[in-house]
Structures are given as C-alpha cells and as structure tokens.
C-alpha cells in the first residue's frame, strides 16, 4: 500500500502538481562528545544535510490546526521516499526563504510526512 501511494503521489508531483512543488534543503550541525566548559562548545561537530520536495500550503482551510499555529505558518507535505534524511523539530529548511520545522507527523501508511513550518 505504501509503495503504491508513494508512486502515485510522485507521479502527480511530476505531472499534475509540478507547478505546485517546492524543493528544499536542510543543513544542520550535530554536536557530540563531552561538553567543554572553557570554550562552551562540543568537540565533535558534524554536518548533516538532506533535501527533498513537496507541496507547501497553508492551514487556513484546515479544520484541525496545530496547537501553536500562527496564521503565516506553512504546512509541507512531502513523500518520505523523496527526502534524503529525517526531518526533525528545529531543523531549518531553505525553500524560497528560510523556515523552521515546528512539528513533524507522518500518515498511517508511513509514506508521507506533514511538517509545520514557520518563516524565520
């Protein structure tokens, strides 16, 4: 079921929805190791990057909105198999502007992520 949903939505992304699709990228630092109190940093910093594409819309007509919803927030619907990483809260997406990920949810089939974004 999941594969069928992803293939049909991907086909729509390439054809009927092509003009509504937005690509995005994310680059974030992952800090690890023991915290150095002198320099106030972690010794190991790696950079994780991921990208994808999806439909960016609004919550204006949705009946159910997130608790911390603001009028200018966006709702991004992205296919899990088209995102090269796992979106997480506080990630910053670059997609025609910079957005902070406030929430991440997935549908019951495990094929789509729905992310709440706020312009920064």
pLDDT in tens, 20-79: 899 999 988 888 888 889 988 888 788 899 999 999 988 876 666 777 888 889 999 998
Domains of the chain: 2-119 (2.40.10)
Q: Is the pLDDT of residue 5 over 70?
A: yes
Select from 70, 67, 71 the least CA-distant residue to 105.
67
Phi, psi dihedrals of residue 12, rounded to the nearest 5°: -65, -40
């Amino acid at each position: 079921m999941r594969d069928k949903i992803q293939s049909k939505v991907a086909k729509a992304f390439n054809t009927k929805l092509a003009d509504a699709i937005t690509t995005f990228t994310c680059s974030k630092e992952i800090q690890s190791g023991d915290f150095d109190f002198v320099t106030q940093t972690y010794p190991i910093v790696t950079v994780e990057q991921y990208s994808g594409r999806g439909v960016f819309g609004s919550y204006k007509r949705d009946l159910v909105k997130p608790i911390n919803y603001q009028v200018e927030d966006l709702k991004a619907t992205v296919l899990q198999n088209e995102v090269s990483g796992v979106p997480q809260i506080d990630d910053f997406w670059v997609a025609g502007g910079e957005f902070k990920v406030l929430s991440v949810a997935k549908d019951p089939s495990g094929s789509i992520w729905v992310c709440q974004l706020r312009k920064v």
